[in-house]
Amino acid sequence: MGGLGKTTVALALCNDNEVKGHFKEMIFFERVSESPKLKGLLERMWDKIVHEKRPEFHDVKDAHQQLRKRLRQMEPQPTLVVLDDVWEINHLEKILCEGKGFKTLVTTRNNNVVKSDYRYDLPCLREQDVMSLFCFSAFDRKSIPETADYNLVKEVIVECKGLPLALKVIGRYLHGQPPAAWITAKDKISQGQTISEYHETKVLKRMATSIDILAEEVREFFLDMGIFLEARKISVDPLLDLGVYVHKLKWKASYTISIALASPNLVTLVNNKKGTPGNPYGCSGELSLIQHDVMR
């Protein structure tokens, strides 16, 4: 299911000290996504793992064969390859490599991509973590404050179905809102609910509420992000250009709005150079936005 935390867990694993101690520099993380450029991915794998001048690859098949052959000849060394967000088994088969000490971790929404013997189905968050994550987004603390309507907050939390993305987005959307807004939101997100409806679709509908209530110009910016390729970092600069040249905004307003999208957790800010969380007060040239593809 989308937004469950698969990528988050995979990234946490790559940052785990024990894992880093074992694999050292040989940890390769790649987002595969729905329509991947597999030849480019194999080229990056060659550069990162083989550390030799890369030969000319004619196509994906040739790149895969040459990489597999070279890996077989190399001295075995612990290597972790994370292939995040694989949509089709057909994609995985074209990039999967093996070797002594070579481990591949795949994250996917599609049960058919990895055989059940090798699969770990990530559970939804535990009740206690659901509460902390929602409250952290809605109240900047880990529990429901005494000033809030306990039952109302619990009802909203239940509607998020333990899905981290929904807890973050809906929680943030209700941050600082008066009780009346919570009641309206709760009614809205529980509207049209039928037992037979697919779980994920229901939660997605709920998250759409947080986009509906955005100020018009912020919503326009959010929708504009749909023109960029999925699963890619979007440099803030072209987004600013859209604001200035298409929406006729002043540069500063354009910047403020694009950064404002990070506040309700609709996008994540990253620093291009360091790959660390982006500083909204930093230089726009160094900032990128990542839009979770469930939110597209």
Binding site for ligand ATP (CB under 6 A): 2-8, 85, 109, 125, 133, 164-165, 168, 292-294
| Exposure string for 248-272, b = 16+ CB within 10 A, e = fewer | ebeeeebbebbbbbbebbbbebbee
Q: Which is nearer to Mg ion, 161 or 247 (CB)?
A: 161
Q: How many CB atoms lie within 10 A of CB 166?
A: 25
Q: Which of 85, 159, 249, 288 binds Mg ion (CB under 5 A)?
A: 85
Question: Which helix (H) or strand (E) covers residue 106, if one does?
Answer: strand 102-106
Shortest separation between residue 127's beta carbon and Mg ion, angstroms? 23
For the chain, give the number of residues. Answer: 296
Q: Which is nearer to ligand ATP, 108 or 254 (CB)?
A: 108
Query: What does the per-residue mask of binding to Mg ion show for 164-203, with x meaning CB under 5 A?
Result: ----------------------------------------
The closest of 57, 4, 49 to 27, measured between CA atoms, is 49
Binding partner at 190 among Mg ion, ligand ATP, none, C-beta below 5 to 8 Å by kind: none
The closest of 232, 242, 238 to 267, measured between CA atoms, is 232
Residue whose beta carbon is closest to ligand ATP? 5
| 3-class DSSP state of 75 | coil
Question: Which helix (H) or strand (E) covers residue 29, if one does?
Answer: strand 27-33
Binding partner at 188 among ligand ATP, Mg ion, none, C-beta below 5 to 8 Å by kind: none
Q: Which is nearer to ligand ATP, 52 or 127 (CB)?
A: 127
Is residue 7 involved in binding Mg ion (CB under 5 A)? Answer: yes
Question: Footprint of Mg ion on this chain (CB under 5 A)?
Answer: 7, 85
